[in-house]
Amino acid sequence: MPDFVVITPVRNEGDHFAETIESMVAQTARSMMWVIVDDGSKDATGPLADAAAKTHAWIRVLHRADRGFRQQGGGVIQAFSEGFELCKDLPWAFAVKFDGDLSFEKNYFENCLARFAQNPKLGIGGGVICKSENGELVVESRGDPRFHVRGATKIYRRACWDQIGGLLKAPGWDTVDELKANMLGWETFTFHDLKLRQHKDTGSADGAWRNWVKNGLANYVSAYHPLFMLVKCLKRAFARPYLLGAIGLAYGFIGGYFRKVPRVEDREFSRYVRGQQLRKLTLRPSIWD
The pTM score is 0.93
* Residue 203, in any domain of the structure: no
What pLDDT does residue 252 have? 97
The count of other CB atoms within 10 Å of the CB of residue 287 is: 20
DSSP at 190:
E
CA 239, CA 231: separation in Å to the nearest integer?
Answer: 13
CA 222, CA 273: separation in Å to the nearest integer?
Answer: 8
- For residues 218 and 184, membership in a common domain is answered with no
The mean pLDDT of 13-21, rounded to a whole number, is 95
* Residue 286, in any domain of the structure: no
Q: Are strands 102-104 and 187-198 parallel, antiparallel or unpaired?
A: antiparallel
What pLDDT does residue 205 have? 61
* Residue 148, in any domain of the structure: yes
CA distances from 46 to 12, 51, 70, 132 (A): 9, 9, 16, 26
* Residue 213, in any domain of the structure: yes
- For residues 13 and 91, membership in a common domain is answered with yes
- For residues 142 and 95, membership in a common domain is answered with yes
Alpha helices in 39-85 (DSSP H): 45-55, 74-85
- For residues 176 and 215, membership in a common domain is answered with no
What pLDDT does residue 246 have? 96
Residue ending a domain, choose from 135, 163, 198: 198
pLDDT at 59 over 80: yes
CA distances from 33 to 98, 111, 115, 191 (A): 13, 19, 21, 23
Residue bearing the bigger pLDDT, 138 or 276: 276
The count of other CB atoms within 10 Å of the CB of residue 164 is: 22
- For residues 223 and 133, membership in a common domain is answered with no
pLDDT at 110 over 80: yes
* Residue 81, in any domain of the structure: yes
Q: What is the DSSP string of 147-181?
A: T---TTEEEEEHHHHHHHTS--SSTTHHHHHHHHH
Confidence band (pLDDT; 50, 70, 90) for 73? Answer: low
How high does pLDDT run on average in the chain?
A: 93
- For residues 215 and 151, membership in a common domain is answered with no
- For residues 189 and 237, membership in a common domain is answered with no
- For residues 54 and 118, membership in a common domain is answered with yes
- For residues 223 and 194, membership in a common domain is answered with no
Confidence band (pLDDT; 50, 70, 90) for 144? Answer: confident
CA 259, CA 20: separation in Å to the nearest integer?
Answer: 38
* Residue 187, in any domain of the structure: yes
DSSP at 140:
-
Residue bearing the bigger pLDDT, 27 or 143: 27
Domain extent, residue 145, equals 4-198
Residue ending a domain, choose from 198, 231, 250: 198
Q: Which helix (H) or strand (E) holds 61?
A: strand 59-64
* Residue 157, in any domain of the structure: yes
* Residue 121, in any domain of the structure: yes
Residue ending a domain, choose from 172, 198, 224: 198
What pLDDT does residue 241 have? 82
What pLDDT does residue 79 have? 94
The mean pLDDT of 42-63, rounded to a whole number, is 96
- For residues 140 and 8, membership in a common domain is answered with yes
138-147, 267-276, 278-287: which range is least confident on average?
A: 138-147
- For residues 218 and 166, membership in a common domain is answered with no
Q: What type of residue is 132?
A: S
What pLDDT does residue 2 have? 87
Q: Which helix (H) or strand (E) holds 253?
A: helix 244-258
CA 277, CA 15: separation in Å to the nearest integer?
Answer: 40
Which CATH number fits the domain that encloses residue 76? 3.90.550.10
Structural domains counted in the chain: 2
- For residues 113 and 20, membership in a common domain is answered with yes
